[in-house]
A and B are shown apart, each in its own frame.
Chain A
Amino acid sequence: MNVLPNEEELMVKNAAREFLEAECPPSLARAIEQDERGYSVELWEKMASLGWFGISLPESHGGGGLPVTYLGLILEECGRAIAPVPFHSTATAALAVSRHGSAEQQQSILPRAARGDLIMTWAVQEQDPRLRADAIQCRAEVDGDSLVISGIKHFVDNFSAAELMVTAVRTAAPSDDNAGITLVIVPTNSAGITETRLTTLAKDSQSKLTMDGVRVPLSNVIGEVNQGWPATSDMLDIGTALLCAQITGAARKDAEMAIDYAKNRVAFGRPIAGFQSIQHLCADMIVWTDGAQLLTYEALWKLDSGLPFGVEVSQAKAFTNDKCQATVRSSQQIHGGIGFMMEFDLHLWYRRVTAWTMRLGTSFEHRARVARALLDQPGEVRLGMNLQPVG
């Protein structure tokens, strides 16, 4: 039992921090907000050369073969640096292929993803954005050796940068056992996809897609037709855990900026860091982000240990949503007026953390899932036990 990162984990995390401090100034995130491509090609290529994109992909496909925890630690640092690269969406989709894809799919996708030659994303949510099988209405039908998809996918990250997207579609009517979902790899340049760019609080890249008769080969299906929900759910859980890492990294940096600011900002004849009202708020901010980080680490550790980890992911996301939001809002409070001036950098973090808390499941959704695990199956519960997710 040791809930702190070990030496190897710290080495990777610190190396990522050093690299990003040198290569990813806030001005880069600011510039990319105005950039049509939606990401920094230069930063992406530098990161690729460090081998980060494959760190948790299998060695047999050119990856580093390390536990997903390492990827989480790097994404935490990317969150800290608000690095404008499509890393999270690529990693989430690549891990879905790595964990559930066929040998052919893995062979064609993973080595490229590991090298950074392939940008990917995932597309599950729709107009009803809840993360549940019966919210998936986008239809697909088998036609010979093709799957033909028609419907809407919403809140898709980095669509225009991505070459492939891992998409969940409905191939049969909703049922109690969540059958009828098919997970499929769709090239983003397929005929029949219309993209509408969304304007997000984070000023990052999200799109709404209308698919009209989009045809992909059946060999692109991950697993079996109609049996794709477990893999979809697994992909969402991993994406959520990684997003939590990204949010906690960003929120901690944001808190540190407020602490530094308070030490230097003089009011009423002293640095405001000398006022207890400010000190206690800062203490809370650190306690909150610590809590979010610990929950996230436990979720990642359970994933790597082959234990059920869905409940831990939901715990982490619900807490991260509420407490990291509170952290960045408090940081704005400490900064006062300058904090919401466009020329000052703080809002770059505030707007991202805030937007990210609303993605991949709200606090209410995730707490509902925790409640199902606690209340809807028999047996006495105890903190720290392994709990099976229910639904």
Chain B
Amino acid sequence: MEFAFTPEQEALRSEVRQFIAENVTPEIVAELEDTGIRRRGPKTREMYKGIAERGWIGISWPKEYGGQAGSRIDQYIVEEEFARVGITVGGAGSGAPAILAAGTEEQKQEFLPGIIRGEISFALGFTEPQAGADLAGLQCRAVRDGDEYVINGQKMYTTAAHYATHIYLMARTDPDAPRHRGISIFLIPMDTPGITVRPLWTIQNNPPAPLGTTYGDARTNETFFENVRVPASCMLGEENQGWYVGAMGLNLDRVGASRYLISIQRDEDIVNWVKDNEIEGVAMREDPTMRDRLADMWIEGQVCRLMTLRSMSIVENDGVFTYEGSAEKVFAPEHGVRTTETIAQMLGPYGQLLNGSEDAVEDGVFAHNLMGAFQSGINHGSVQVMRDQVARRGLGMPRV
């Protein structure tokens, strides 16, 4: 066991923190909080360019695709520091892990350097109106026609679809095969004719969430495919093997810094707030009940941290998850909710005040989190599905 990072890794961490202190300006924060241009404002683009120039995106990817062939722990450190200020960098949700694992040489060349430069980004086209937690029931169809596929169907909660350049689409290519064996994945430019994006506004829409809120997306989308023609070369991996390619990508999406950070940031926020603040002369830091709850949350936060580091350790040792990624995705989201709801009862009526309101605490982040924290137990595999996986893959219990 070795719970410390190396001196080189600690130096990298300092370097990233310094970059953030110097470059994440109030203007950039304003851009990032702006619902319309989230992650796409001119100053933000400039900043991402700076991040890419330092080699901090795709650190663990091979050099021939623009990476550094470095350690995933380094990548984790960079992602963690940026996630703490509400900025997403690197692997999670990018589609890149699956492309690295299953893509053709042409696909790797086409996408990975562009992802690093910030020129290519993916919306995730998994969920459908009738296929959420039970994703294998998806119906969006892709029919082979010569060198092309023709796609028809509807995807839900395609959160980045209004600004991503591409969509990472799961579609049914063999309706007669058993459900998991008739699915393929396509990497499709969003400007392909026949794709329509319609906004779905979330409950965090108005006012938009302060940066760093758990989830906090004001907008997601539904995306429609109407006779969308794409070349067969858009397919990622083998035809009808998409379930397994996708599962691999999702598994990697469930671990890493951002998943951990969205579940524990309020632990740090509330402890630091309570240390420095009082409400009309009443110091919660002196209240024995609240001290007990704060410590309880803190300890759970440490468990979230250690479970994330365990997943990282497994990946770094080239091991294979049986249940550990799912375990992390049970404990951390539910912890995030427990903390968020505990804070609500600590702050009382102040806890409900959103950003922009008179007397909002910490710019309303705790209040906004009451709309965001529970989403973490739903998105990317609900905690119920995760428990199924722990029981079945980890403990060898039978399918129902």
Q: Mark A residues whose CB is within 8 Å of B.
A: 1-6, 9, 69, 259, 262-263, 271, 273-276, 278-280, 282-284, 286-287, 290-291, 294-295, 297-298, 300-302, 305, 315, 318-319, 364, 367-368, 370-371, 374-376, 378, 380-384
Interface status of B310 (Cβ within 8 A of chain A): yes
| Chain B 375-400 interface residues, beta-carbon cutoff 8 Å to A | 384, 386-388, 390-392, 394-400
B9 touches A280 (CB 8 A): no
Contact with A along B305-326 (1 / 0, CB 8 A): 1110110111011000001000
- Nearest chain A residue, comparing its CB with the CB of B264: A383
- Nearest chain A residue, comparing its CB with the CB of B311: A3
Q: Provide a sorted-by-A list of 10 A–B residue pairs whose CB atoms are within 8 angstroms.
A: A1-B6, A2-B1, A3-B2, A3-B306, A283-B323, A287-B331, A290-B310, A291-B307, A294-B307, A367-B299
Contact partner of B397 among A3, A282, A284, CB < 8 A?
A282
Neighbouring B residues of A374 by C-beta, 8 Å: 271, 275, 294-295, 298
Contact with A along B187-200 (1 / 0, CB 8 A): 00000000000000
User: Interface size class for chain B?
Assistant: 35 or more
B397 touches A4 (CB 8 A): no
User: If the complex has contacts A290-B327, A301-B3, are A375 and B299 also in contact, measured as CB distance less than 8 A?
Assistant: no
User: If the complex has contacts A2-B1, A259-B397, A319-B303, are A294 and B298 also in contact, measured as CB distance less than 8 A?
Assistant: no
Interface of B is mostly: helix
Neighbouring A residues of B264 by C-beta, 8 Å: 383
User: If the complex has contacts A319-B303, A367-B299, A368-B292, are A1 and B5 also in contact, measured as CB distance less than 8 A?
Assistant: yes
- Nearest chain A residue, comparing its CB with the CB of B326: A283
- Chain B nearest CB: distance from A281 CB in Å? 9
Interface status of B279 (Cβ within 8 A of chain A): no
User: If the complex has contacts A2-B313, A315-B299, A370-B299, are A294 and B394 also in contact, measured as CB distance less than 8 A?
Assistant: no
Task: Give the tally of cross-chain contacts (CB within 8 A).
Answer: 172
- Chain A nearest CB: distance from B75 CB in Å? 12
A280 touches B387 (CB 8 A): yes
User: If the complex has contacts A279-B388, A286-B395, are A291 and B331 also in contact, measured as CB distance less than 8 A?
Assistant: yes
Contact with A along B202-221 (1 / 0, CB 8 A): 00000000000000000000
Contact partner of B3 among A290, A302, A380, A383, CB < 8 A?
A302
User: If the complex has contacts A282-B391, A302-B3, are A375 and B398 also in contact, measured as CB distance less than 8 A?
Assistant: no
Beyond A69-B1, A295-B303: 6 further Cβ-contacts under 8 Å? A294-B310, A295-B299, A295-B302, A301-B1, A370-B295, A370-B298
**Cα distance A210–B259 in the bound complex, in angstroms:** 55
User: If the complex has contacts A283-B394, A371-B292, A381-B268, are A1 and B274 also in contact, measured as CB distance less than 8 A?
Assistant: no
Interface centre among A2, A297, A305 (most CB of B within 10 A): A2
**Cα distance A378–B285 in the bound complex, in angstroms:** 12
Neighbouring A residues of B307 by C-beta, 8 Å: 290-291, 294
B295 touches A371 (CB 8 A): yes
B316 touches A2 (CB 8 A): yes
Neighbouring A residues of B299 by C-beta, 8 Å: 295, 315, 318-319, 367, 370
